[in-house]
Amino acid sequence: MQIFLIDYNPIETAKILDHKRLNKQVLECDWILNSTESSRVRNHPIYKMYKDELEWVKLYRECLAAYRNKKFDEAEKFSHEAMNITPAFLNEPYFNNFKRKLYTKDPVFYEKFYEYGGTTENWYFIDGQWYIYDGGRIGEITHISDQFINRTYY
């Protein structure tokens, strides 16, 4: 489960995602938004990351759903509303990691992200700290900037 973002503006993500991933994003937002106290979703790092940003998740979901349904004006409206309450932890290195992930998933469709290379890392911001999950390894991002990311694996 993941929330793919390549930009602060959700509609930019909607425009770039292939149909399969666009649909999956809507579904995964639904899982996050509709989870109950006893739901396993609440244990997932992506839920923990966005649990205090559910209004933003709802607007992101509505933007992607409207775009998927070719309601572009509605998608723009939801995207604009989401940008007004953008989670503070979102940043360019995080977006660039998703560009790498998309390129890894489908290098032909996402050829425009070639320059970013590929990755299997998932990044999560939980309780004020960046974490990495990569092939069963867990680590922390101890420093993050536009040019440099320092990782420490446990």
**pTM of the shown model:** 0.91
69 Cβ neighbours under 8 A, 6+ residues apart: none
Domain boundaries, the chain: 1-86, 89-154
CA nearest to 66, candidates 56, 55, 75, 78: 75
Query: Tell me, what's the pLDDT at 85?
Result: 98
Mean pLDDT of 108-124: 95
Q: Residue 153's pLDDT band (boundaries 50, 70, 90)?
A: confident
CA 80 to chain centre: 17
Kindly report, residue by residue over 36-80, the tens digit of the pLDDT: 888 888 889 999 999 999 999 999 999 999 999 999 999 999 999
Q: Kindly state the helix (H) or strand (E) to which residue 151 belongs, with its residue range.
A: strand 149-153
Mean pLDDT of 115-121: 94
Query: Tell me, what's the pLDDT at 141?
Result: 84
Residue 46 and residue 2: Cα distance in Å, rounded? 6
Kindly report, residue by residue over 5-45, the tens digit of the pLDDT: 999 999 999 999 999 999 999 999 999 999 888 888 888 99
DSSP characters over 76-92:
HHHHHHHHTT--TT--H
Mean of per-residue pLDDT scores for the chain: 93
